Chains A and B, each alone.
Chain A
Amino acid sequence: MTTPTEPYVLNIGPQHPSTHGVFRIRVVMDGERIQDIDMIVGYLHRSMEKLAEERTYTQNIPFTDRADYLAAMSGNLGLCLAAERLARVEVPERASYLRVIFAELQRIASHAMANGTLVSDAGAWQTPLLYMFREREKILDLFEMTCGARLTTNYMRIGGVAFEPPPEFWPALLELVDELPERISEYEELLTQNEIFIARTRDIGVISPEDAINGSLVGPALRGSGVPWDLRKAEPYCIYDRMEFDVPIGRNGDVYDRFMVRLAETRESVKIIRQAVENIPDGSHKTDIPLALRPAPGEVYGRVEGPRGELGFYLVSDGGPAPYRFHIRAPSLINLSLLRELARGASLSDAVVTLGSIDIVVGEIDR
């Protein structure tokens, strides 16, 4: 005789070791299987988009630090590019190079964090995370040298960057760039052939290219499914059209592929940084703009390829010093929307790993 099991509700979060922030999932479970999930966001809502309407464009840059707090530089860059297009500000070439260097450093740091927490979710108790933190620490040290802050950098400005990097920045950067490929090979040796890790991530959370497009996925989650879409190639901004780099794409669309795509992207970022350091011209690092920038009335949607995917800024100007409307298209929020489909019918352990592979940042989801 079999007795029917009764579904029950498990509340994961807002405080839970693997929700990557204050994010809550209400899970209906049947034994170890997930029947349905309900994602509840908003615990970190700070009303950024409304507050931004009261501040000038430059004053809004710190908001982008705090939206995606693991990739502050990319947020800075996105807002600055959008505002520059709106106000028709020219950027000196040296500033563009500096922006690319810092955005790619940020991508390496963010991917290290994402991959580390993913492996930590799979049960390797913090060791890969802390190994990846070694490199992240060095990158944050570089940020600290340049702009004084490690996480909330607030480094880029409309028309350039805030500061010229100090003289000791360049040797430290070169040393890091020489060291990184070795480190990435080390992670590949340690993790990518580990049978337990493969058994936990292969064929788990598979997203087909069609689903990925329909779900409007972006970034490594999209490329892991095999769709070759990268804004740095498709719609080059700054000086990416002068750089030589490849876009790695996955074969299966599972958790393992998303992990591997991030690891491979780190290598490509190192390549880009090396080229940028070799070719950086002399000159000014910023254009002077009026303190209260008053763009002509109009609207603009500027987008960059952040570590988590297409990070868009929609700005509307009414001719005043503050934007009439300020909206962030957050990749984490949109990537997260597919989690429900992926988690249904999976076991709890698989759902946790899938969530880790999507790589959300709650500050960006709630804003």
Chain B
Amino acid sequence: MTDRHSELPATPMARQIIARRSLLDAAKAAPVSLKVAGSIVLLGLLLVNALIGFIVVDGQLDGEWYDFRDLGYAMERLRIELDEVNLGPWLSYWVTGLIGGLGILSFIGGFLLIGSWIERRLLARFQVRMGPNRVGPFGLLQPIADALKLMQKEVLIPMGADRLLFFLPPVLVFVPAMLAWGPIPWAPGMSYLDINVGLLFVVSITSLSVLAIWMAGWSSNNHYALLGAMRTVAMMVSYEIPISLSLIVVVLITGSLNLGEIVAWQTDHNVWLAVLLPFSLFTFFFSSTAEINRTPNDIAEAESEIVAGFHTEYSGMKAGLFLAVELGNALFVGALVATFFLGGYGLFGLEQWIPPYVILAAKASFGYFVFIWLRSTLPRFRIDQLMTFAWKYLIPLSIANVLVVAVETSIAARWEVEAIFIYGSFAVVNVILTVIAVRTWARVAGYSSSFERPEPPRVAPMIGGLKAARRIKAGA
């Protein structure tokens, strides 16, 4: 080996890779002491910030309109001020409603822009490649470039398509995806639709999109789209039931359909429902992957089978709307999981000085991260396996879960000991029951030999044709 070769890698591609070392690699190469010191400084800053917030802010700002931790107070104050202008009662509601709606829409819109970049970069990291890194710093402007491209593209309407039904779905699928954000509580008083049937509202609004998807699949005059739409409808209708059953359990424990009160219950009892109801969390999360077409249940858009499913024939910004809704739904499910099972905007008292909506956004983003993680890890189910899973496994177990929790709530109402003792014991019982139920039910209902640990290939002791194959098989 010559010196030239020991310095430079031998191929042009390897040289290019070395030449384009990223910032992350530079950070990785830093000495360990520097990393430790940096982490200590960061942690210290966080702690000091928290202490200052606790000393300065604690209790003094509660309910004031300039309390930025809960923008609901500011809106309430604005509404009262507008009422005093005497231009009619409609003004105050319209103005505050518009501002609140714009707030939610801009949050989701911002996420739709950054979300696709996050997903692509993270997927790339999981898949040992770089991801988009050419447009803007770290490829941050890539989503904008994509959106511009989509807008410039021609919107094709396939021959023989039902023009009206083909036009409507991208709009119809977008509206419920935005509406469903209404009842999510961002802070104690900060909820766009503070209605006492918030949970029912969420479940009913989210199931509207199945109509739009069916319309899209039917009107496209394309067999891939039709197959995708049929799969989606079957899947969504089946998985509505486990979702509803798992949410009924939440209602049983907290005693309210109002999302704000569900979160308040968790904050009051200092417990996350994820600990109390592990099976409901699992059911909800898994069923949601079927509802919003994420891996391992993305069979409605199974790329390797039916190209893009129901939106195969859509082009330009119409396809973009479908993709945006998919992205937004993933974050929405993250927000729902956070609200129902992970304590919503609460973080064991930390919400006193961190704005609660930041906590909720962080938890929802964590849910989104889990979706990306699953997408980069798992293969896809087949449609019949998925339906079997819903009807044979999830639904019977969910009904049993409802029964168990109903008994527990009635015990909790009658038993006069400390709440922490009651719920602590329930948590232990539920976790144990979940593990036992999942394991035994998998053995009882439809346990198939294909789930057994398959044997690796064997070494051929001889070489030959059919006779040798038969002898090897008989000998084994």
Q: Which residues of A contact B (CB under 8 A)?
A: 8-11, 16-18, 29, 32, 119-127, 130-131, 134, 137, 141, 144-145, 166-169, 171-172, 192-200, 202-203, 209-210, 213, 223-230, 233-234, 246-251, 256-257, 260-261, 264, 347-350, 352
Q: In the complex the two chains form, is A249's CB within 8 Å of B465's CB? A: no
Binds A, one of B150-158, B204-212, B253-261, B372-380: B372-380
User: Is the Cβ of B458 less than 8 Å from the Cβ of A248?
Assistant: yes
**B428-468 interface with A by 8 A CB criterion:** 450-451, 453-466, 468
Among A16, A124, A223, point to the contact of B380 (Cβ < 8 A): A124
Q: Determine whether the beta carbon of A166 is less than 8 Å from that of B10.
A: yes
Which chain A positions have C-beta within 8 A of B456?
A: 192, 260, 264
The smallest C-beta distance from B394 to any residue of chain A, in angstroms, reads 16
Q: Which residue of B lies closest to A172 (CB)?
A: B10
Once A228-B468, A347-B383 are accepted as A-B contacts, the answer to whether A17 and B224 lie under 8 Å apart by CB is no
> Is the CB–CB distance between B463 and A249 below 8 Å?
no
Give the complex CA separation of A130 and B450 in angstroms. Answer: 27
B296 within 8 Å of A (CB atoms): yes
Contact call A352/B304, Cβ cutoff below 8 A = yes
Known: A123-B379, A141-B14, A202-B454. A227 touches B1 (CB 8 A): no
Task: Name which residue of chain B comes closest to A247, CB basis.
Answer: B460
A-B contact pairs, 25 of them (CB 8 A): A8-B223, A10-B224, A10-B227, A16-B307, A32-B383, A123-B378, A125-B295, A141-B10, A141-B14, A144-B11, A166-B10, A192-B456, A198-B451, A199-B385, A209-B466, A228-B461, A228-B468, A229-B465, A233-B463, A247-B459, A249-B459, A257-B457, A264-B457, A348-B305, A350-B382
Contact, CB under 8 Å: A130 / B468: no
Q: What chain A residues lie within 8 Å of B134 (beta carbons)?
A: none
Chain A residue at minimal CB-CB distance from B455:
A251
Tell me whether A196 and B383 are in contact (CB under 8 A): no
Closest 6 CB pairs of A and B: A123-B380, A228-B460, A202-B450, A18-B304, A124-B379, A248-B457
B459 contacts A230, C-beta separation under 8 Å: no
Interface residues of B in 1-38 (CB under 8 A from A): 1-2, 5, 10-14
Contact with A along B119-141 (1 / 0, CB 8 A): 00001001111000000000000
CA distance A90 to B456 in the complex (A): 41
Given A251-B455, A251-B457, are A167 and B1 also a contact pair (CB < 8 Å)? Answer: yes
**Residues from chain A with Cβ under 8 Å of B463 in the complex:** 228-230, 233-234, 247
CB–CB A194/B379 < 8 A: yes
**Which residues of A have CB within 8 Å of B385?**
199
Select the residue from A123, A234, A246 with max chain B CB neighbours within 10 A: A123
| B393 in contact (CB, < 8 A) | no
A261 nearest in chain B by CB position: B457
Please tell me which one of the listed residues B375, B381, B473 contacts residue A199 in the complex, with CB atoms under 8 A apart: B381
Across the interface, do B380 and A120 meet the contact criterion of CB distance under 8 Å? no
- The CA-CA distance from A247 to B13 in the complex, in Å, is 35
Name which of B13, B296, B457 has the most chain A CB atoms within 10 A of its CB.
Answer: B457
* Contact A126/B382 with A256-B454, A260-B457 known, Cβ cut-off 8 Å: no
A127: contacting residue among B306, B377, B458, CB under 8 A:
B377
Residue B302 CB within 8 A of the other chain: yes
Does B469 interact with chain A (Cβ within 8 Å)? yes
CB nearest neighbor in B for A231: B463
* Chain B interface residues toward A at CB < 8 A: 1-2, 5, 10-14, 123, 126-129, 223-224, 227, 295-296, 298-299, 302-307, 375-385, 450-451, 453-466, 468-470, 472-473, 476
Residue in chain A with minimal CB distance to B226: A8
Contacts of A264 in B (CB 8 A): 456-457
Is B378 in contact with A194, judged by CB distance below 8 angstroms?
Answer: yes
- Check B128–A131 contact: CB distance below 8 A: yes
Residues of B within 8 Å of A121, CB to CB, are 304
In the complex, chain A residues whose CB is within 8 Å of the CB of B462: 228
How far, in Å, is A165 (CB) from chain B's closest CB? Answer: 11
- B223 to A, closest residue via Cβ: A10
Q: CA of A145 to CA of B378 in the docked complex: distance in angstroms?
A: 36
The answer to whether B454 and A192 touch across the interface, beta carbons within 8 angstroms, is yes
Counting chain A CB atoms within 10 Å of each CB, the highest count among B227, B454, B462 belongs to B454
Known interface pairs A213-B465, A249-B457; A198-B450 also in contact (CB < 8 Å): yes
B476 (CB) vs chain A CBs: closest residue: A251
| CB-defined contacts of A350 to chain B, threshold 8 Å | 382
Cα-based distance from A192 to B381 in the complex (angstroms): 16
Contact A167 B5 (CB under 8 A): yes
Known contacts A120-B304, A213-B465, A234-B463; decide if A168 and B379 are in contact (CB<8 Å): no
Are A145 and B298 closer than 8 Å at their CB atoms? no
When distances are taken between beta carbons in the complex, the residues of chain A under 8 Å from B295 are 123, 125
Inter-chain CA distance A271–B13, complex, in Å, is 28
When distances are taken between beta carbons in the complex, the residues of chain B under 8 Å from A250 are 457
Once the chains bind, are A141 and B464 in contact (CB under 8 Å)?
no
Other-chain contact of B126, A127, A134, A145, A249 (Cβ < 8 Å): A127
Residue of B nearest to A260 (CB): B457
- The reply to whether A196 and B380 contact each other, CB–CB distance below 8 Å, is yes
**A130 and B466 contacting across the interface, CB-CB below 8 Å:** no
- Cα of A360 to Cα of B303 in the assembled complex, Å: 19
User: Once bound together, how far apart are the Cα atoms of A11 and B470, in whole Å?
Assistant: 39
Residues of A within 8 A of B465 (CB): 213, 227, 229
A126 and B127 contacting across the interface, CB-CB below 8 Å = yes
B380 touches A167 (CB 8 A): no
A48 to B302, CA, bound (A): 36
Given the contacts A228-B460, A260-B457, A124 and B378 also touching, CB distance less than 8 Å: yes
Known: A16-B307, A209-B469. Contact between A197 and B455, CB under 8 A? no
In the complex, what distance in Å separates the CA atom of A51 from the CA atom of B380? Answer: 44
Measured in the bound complex, the distance between the Cα atoms of B451 and A339 in whole Å is: 25
- Across the interface, which residues of A come within 8 angstroms of B381, CB to CB? 123, 196, 199-200
The interface residues of chain A lying within 8 Å CB-to-CB of B2 are 167
Q: Are B376 and A125 in contact (CB under 8 A)?
A: yes
In the complex formed, the residue of A with least CB distance to B302 is A123
Which residues of chain A are near B468, meaning CB under 8 Å?
Answer: 227-228
A53-B306 Cα distance, complex, nearest whole Å: 42
Closest to A268 in B: B459
Contacts known (A196-B379, A350-B382); A226 close to B473, Cβ less than 8 A: yes
Q: How far is the CA of A145 from the CA of B461 in the complex (A)?
A: 38
A338, B232: Cα distance in complex, Å? 32
Q: Whole-angstrom distance from the CB of A227 to the nearest CB of chain B?
A: 4
- In the complex, which residues of chain A have a beta carbon less than 8 angstroms from the beta carbon of B457? 224, 248-251, 257, 260-261, 264
The residue from B127, B453, B469 contacting A193, defined by CB atoms under 8 A apart = B453
Alpha-carbon distance A81/B459, docked complex (angstroms): 28
Interchain nearest-CB distance for B439 vs A (Å):
14
Contact of A347 among B382, B461, B464 (CB under 8 A): B382
20 A-B pairs besides A125-B303, A131-B127, A199-B385 with CB distance below 8 A are A120-B304, A123-B299, A124-B377, A134-B128, A141-B11, A141-B13, A167-B1, A200-B381, A213-B465, A228-B462, A228-B463, A229-B465, A246-B460, A248-B457, A249-B457, A249-B458, A249-B460, A251-B458, A251-B476, A256-B454
Neighbouring B residues of A199 by C-beta, 8 Å? 381-382, 385, 450-451
Which partner residue on chain B sits nearest A144 by CB separation?
B11
